[in-house]
Amino acid sequence: MKVLLLNGSPHAHGCTAAALQEMIGVFESEGVETELIQVGHLEIRGCISCESCMKKGKCVFNDPVNEIASRFEAADGLVVGSPVYYASPNGTLLSLLDRLFYSSSFSKHMKVGAAVVSARRGGNTASFDVLNKYFSISGMPIATATYWNQVHGFTAEDVRKDAEGLQTMRNLARNMTFLMKAIADGREKFGLPQVERGAFTSFPDGK
pLDDT of residue 206: 58
Beta bridge partners, 84, equal: 89
H or E, element range at 171? helix 163-190
Q: Is 153 a member of any domain? A: yes
pLDDT tens, 107-165? 999 999 999 999 999 999 999 999 999 999 999 999 999 999 999 999 999 999 999 99
User: What's the CA gap between 5 and 78, in Å, rounded?
Assistant: 6
Q: Is 140 a member of any domain? A: yes
Total domains, the chain: 1
H or E, element range at 81? strand 77-85
Q: Is 181 a member of any domain? A: yes
Sort residue 74 into left (φ over 0), alpha (ψ -120 to 50) or beta.
alpha
Q: Which of 6, 89, 87, 104 is nearest to 47 (CA)?
A: 104
Q: Is 124 a member of any domain? A: yes
Helix (H, G, I), strand (E, B) or coil at 119: strand
Q: Is 201 a member of any domain? A: no
- Give the CATH number, domain containing residue 131: 3.40.50.360
Output the tens digit of pLDDT for each of the chain's 207 residues.
999 999 999 999 999 999 999 999 999 999 999 999 999 999 999 999 999 999 998 999 989 999 999 999 999 999 999 999 999 999 999 999 999 999 999 999 999 999 999 999 999 999 999 999 999 999 999 999 999 999 999 999 999 999 999 999 999 999 999 999 999 999 999 999 999 988 888 877 655
Q: Is 205 a member of any domain? A: no
pLDDT of residue 84: 98
Q: Which domain holds residue 62?
A: 2-190
Q: Is 38 a member of any domain? A: yes
